[in-house]
Amino acid sequence: MEQLKGLWRDTKYLWLGFAFASVAFAAFGSWYHLAVIPCLPVCFTYFAWMRYDENGKPKNDFNGADH
């Protein structure tokens, strides 16, 4: 759970921008842009678990090696 909090703390404006842009594109363009919104939590969770440790701090090593 701390991974999710860490990612939200560091990138909340980016994720809110994605959601806002999807709604704006749907309002001014076509409704199929709303299909992105259900994908956002899946991507958010993936990046949180891959990029943050159990304490909510960014991982230093992204290639999986523990040195």
The full 3-state SS of the chain, as one line of letters, equals CHHHHHHHHHHHHHHHHHHHHHHHHHHHCCHHHHHHCCHHHHHHHHHHHHHECCCCCECCCCCCCCC
For the chain, what is the mean pLDDT?
Answer: 86
pLDDT (mean) for 4-20: 91
User: What's the whole-model pTM score?
Assistant: 0.74
Distance CA 13, CA 22 (A): 14
CA-to-CA separations, 42 to 38, 45, 62, 67, in angstroms, rounded = 8, 5, 20, 29
